Structure 1
Amino acid sequence: MNLKKTGVFLYTMLSTLKVSLVGQLWLNEFLVILATPFTYKPSDLDEYPYLKKMLAALLLLLMFQVVTDLLIVHSTPQNYLRGWAGTIIAMLSFIFLFKTLNEPSTILFFIFMTMIKNIIYTDDIVDSDMSYFKFKIAPILTNAMYLLVYYLYQRGEQKLVLSSLVGFSLLCFAMDSRSTGLIFFISAAIIYFLNSKVSISRQKIILFSVIAAILFQICYFFYVRAVLDGEIGGDHSREQLERLDNPYNPLGLLITGRAETFAAGAAIADKPIFGHGSWAPDKTLKYYMILLMYHDEEMNLQSAREIDHLVPSHSVLMGAWVNWGIGGFLAICYLFWLLMKIGFNLIRNGQELALYPVLVLMTIGLMWTFLFSPFQALRLYIPGIAAILLTSYYELKEMTVPEWALYNN
């Protein structure tokens, strides 16, 4: 095992252990702090301009964090140190993982070790049969699918790649892991169209969109019927659908499933310029009550006050605005735009890469993460995916010199 694979092994396995220091830090984050000076070279910023831009976005975020926490809302040291530490760790992780995951074999080993880590470690959120699949089994199978579709794609078995993606997507829908199922289904459609060399026109896009919308509504109708009849899904999905006036409206399901978004919107409206600060507490329970309203639940005020509630967002993008205002939001939007630009370049031009289906899945998954995952994903999950996309982008750039690669980025 070479040095980089040893680093990957330690990074993944130490991510299951944490210590109390400036909040909760994982042991692999200590590894990142210790290893970054040995992996980073000042010339990297000139050699890899996209890495420089990503770090600039995070530095900009850190600046707005400092301004909001110290000068505007006067956050407690415990809260602002936790907030700042998360951004600094994200920056160091970007550097460490990009310089470590710089070849396909190391990327594949990282995916394999992530799968092993998920087998060994079970998150505290797993507390029921359906959450066991969603938060335990689905992450294991997702990484296994990455390895499987890589193997099939490099052998030219595109039909098996597509059938594997669609089959796993249907399994996830049936087992109450809708977001994972949607990511795999959309990725399968993208891989099919971009590998079939279909000529794309405005008329075809409109026609396909109409047909896709009709098919989606038909499939969604049968999905709802099956969940309500107890044939697929679980208690969580059934409870969500039963509290809707019209369960056959997919927008209603999105609203009740992502109620934190509306609570975050109210928090942004209250403090749109500078935000509420790092780890902002919901002292009056105003935003918690909004959350319960969309969940159609009543609040026990006494028991609610026994637990500290943070201002909710459940979105990396909106969480930045909630906590650090419009400046924090723009900084994260810039990072998001950079990663999407890289990802969609790979989707459009990277069919010759053996990792192509994995890169499509990661790009679509990254989009979902920024929109609907807690802000802590910025330090825990995004750096690894970003490093893989960035490594693959520069690999593709070395392989070919199309028009898009002539720009200095």
Structure 2
Amino acid sequence: MVIPVNLIGTFRLGELLVLALYPFYMKQILKALRNREVLAIVGLGVLWFISQGLSDLYNSTTMKNSLRGMGSIFLTMTTFLFFCGLYSRNPSQHLGTLLGACAGGVLSAGLLYRFEGNNPGYAQNIWDFYVSGWAHPAFALFAFLFYRSHPWLVFPIGIAYGLVANMYGGRSDGLVVLISTLFLFYLWLQLTHSRGDLRYSMRSGLMLCALLLVPLFLLYVIYAQSGALGKAAKMQIDLAKNPYNPVEVLLLARNESVIALDAIYEKPILGHGSWANPGHLRRLYLLKMREIYGASAPKKLVQDILPVHSVLLGAWVFGGLAGFVFWVYVIFRTFYLSNQLLLTGSIGMTAIAVVYVPYFCWHVLFSPNAFARFSWPMSMAFMIFSVAFFHRSANDTKR
């Protein structure tokens, strides 16, 4: 649930709760900082924060916008540290966090419908605004509970989730769950035979998932052209010169990346500052949209920030190169930790990791900064301390 605060920006109820609980977990947080993974991420986060401050000074950013930008980084890192402290003893507490995320998503959807139910934009994207906030953590919980004992319940639920999400506007959410489900199915086939060669199995499984994306993409094009996936999907496919070119279709869906690259080219070291909204880049963006969409292109931008729909590129555009380096490092460590967890973790924890990784990959590349503040901290902390827990357990067993 979002609570507006006029001075800086917006907080979520969960963030306020984290800040209120901080004094009670300070000892665990300080202990968590001894973990090298945590220390490295926090160190790069500090560099990102400093770079954002220098960028704001260089670009003469207003005090309000500077507080919003630097405050967002500060909240991201403090929330990450809180969950590190929470999970340092027992990473399975992440299950309670997922349950809380489900409850918060349901509450947020109910309030949104109560106060904004007549908004046509919400009605056209039912899944994104009313469902995905609680459905994705619910699927992660479901996979944890049933993947070990009843895997055949997980596979049809995952496929149904992906199909229904696509029908009601949640194309990216449906795609990442379908990928997770395919990989869970492949891992289950391997686990029924042997776990000893799982490293090879994971690599071949990733290749298999990549190959299966080809027929899935072809099906997406066919159904989008028919209008079965909604007006937005049909318009994007119709505008594509070659609808069977996945790169072109992706750029039409996430056209903000074009203006992000222009912004980075202008100021590659320090970026444009917090909440940057330069007029010449806005005009350039609208011009490029007219070249793509013609008469249906937007006539103006209502956002008070340059529309960069990417955590990775947004960190570079607004905070400079240090922000980009931070997220590149996070991407690398996420894959490393997920690999370690798949090799050494329990079946249930493995299921959560498999559900999370495609979700992470999509959102860090193609979603706005809200993902970094509200979803990434708890999941990254879970990955770090799950791996640490199972490594510690393995070492204790050898003694």
TM-score, normalising length: structure 1 = 0.82
Aligned pairs (5 A) from 1:9-408: 15-41=1-27, 43-45=30-32, 47-70=34-57, 72-101=58-87, 103=90, 106-122=93-109, 127-154=121-148, 156-195=149-188, 196-197=190-191, 209=207, 213=211, 215-230=212-227, 232-284=228-280, 285-289=282-286, 292-293=289-290, 295-298=292-295, 304=300, 307=302, 309-350=304-345, 352-401=346-395
Q: Percent identity?
A: 24
- Determine the C-alpha separation between the residues in 2 that align with 1:365 and 1:211: 15
Partner of 2:121: helix, strand, or coil? coil
- Determine the C-alpha separation between the residues in 2 that align with 1:150 and 1:86: 31
- Determine the C-alpha separation between the residues in 2 that align with 1:183 and 1:38: 36
Task: Report the alpha carbon displacement of residue 293 of structure 1 after superposing the two structures with TM.
Answer: 4.0
Answer yes or no: is the 8 Å Cα contact 2:143–2:348 preserved in 1. no
Moved more, 183-192 or 253-262: 183-192
Task: Report the alpha carbon displacement of residue 145 of structure 1 after superposing the two structures with TM.
Answer: 1.6
Task: Report the alpha carbon displacement of residue 200 of structure 1 after superposing the two structures with TM.
Answer: 8.0
- Determine the C-alpha separation between the residues in 2 that align with 1:183 and 1:47: 33
Moved more, 256-265 or 25-34: 25-34
Distance 1:330 1:206, change over 3 A: same
Task: Report the alpha carbon displacement of residue 245 of structure 1 after superposing the two structures with TM.
Answer: 1.9
Answer yes or no: is the 8 Å Cα contact 2:344–2:391 preserved in 1. no
TM-score, normalising length: structure 2 = 0.84
Partner of 2:241: helix, strand, or coil? coil
- Determine the C-alpha separation between the residues in 1 that align with 2:48 and 2:209: 41
RMSD of equivalent CA atoms = 3.2
Which has the larger share of helix? 2
Answer yes or no: is the 8 Å Cα contact 2:122–2:129 preserved in 1. no
Runs of 5+ unmatched residues, structure 1: 1-14, 403-409
Task: Report the alpha carbon displacement of residue 206 of structure 1 after superposing the two structures with TM.
Answer: 8.3
CA deviation map 1:59-88 (0-9, x unaligned): 110011111111x21211111111111111
What is the aligned residue count? Answer: 382
- The residue type paired with residue 175 of structure 2 is L
Moved more, 33-42 or 245-254: 33-42
- The residue type paired with residue 273 of structure 1 is I
Distance 1:58 1:391, change over 3 A: same
